[in-house]
Amino acid sequence: MIPNTIEKSWYVLHTRSRFENVVYDGLLKKSLQAFLPKHRVRSKRRDRKAIIQVPLFPGYVFIESHLQAEEYLEIVKTIGVVRIIGNNDGPVSVPRETVESLKIMVAANSNIITGKRFKKGDRVMVTNGPFIGVIGIFVRDKGKDRVIVHLEALGQYAGVDVHKDDIEILPQK
């Protein structure tokens, strides 16, 4: 029998909302190599001024694997895992250098800036604030950190300013 010499690759798991720690812990309990990059931020709650650790990429956990049948099943059966990020050809690996760079950045415990790139025409949903649940189309940046979402209602459009942190891109139909 020839030993498997194929090198493992890093992949990204999409998790249920706020299940990153559950998925990460579940993978570690299964003796799988996982990585959940976190950074320190000030709590957004008005009654607290604490610095808390939050996922650098909410909704995602990295996994190192061969993705052979048995291990693949263990990964996707982990509580909170939605899917492995990929395309029509299957899961897409993340370059090892990218994961190693993220590990260095997180270990430095410095201020890390993240963000999303919205393009004109992206379908988005408001996930926080007074317009939570609203689905619309991203139109343009307005200043540094504001966006306008146009909503089609009664054949007309209504625009609202929504903070970029409060919207998520919806998958294509």
What CATH architecture does domain 123-169 belong to?
Roll (2.30)
Q: Could you tell me the residue ranges of all domains in the chain?
A: 9-107, 123-169
What CATH architecture does domain 9-107 belong to?
2-Layer Sandwich (3.30)
Looking at residue 94, the DSSP 8-state letter turns out to be B
**Each residue's pLDDT tens digit, 76-134:** 999 999 999 988 888 999 999 999 999 998 888 777 777 667 777 788 878 777 878 87
Distances 107 to 34, 63, 160 between C-alpha atoms, Å: 16, 18, 39
Which among 140, 89, 151, 134 is positioned nearest to 118, based on CA atoms? 140
User: Is residue 2 very low, low, confident or very high in pLDDT (cuts 50, 70, 90)?
Assistant: very low
Q: Determine the average pLDDT of the residues in 164-169.
A: 77
- Within its chain, how far is the Cα of 156 from the centroid? 33
CATH topology of 9-107 equal to that of 123-169? no
- Note the pLDDT of residue 144: 44
Provide, rounded to the nearest whole percent, the portion of the chain with pLDDT above 70.
Answer: 83
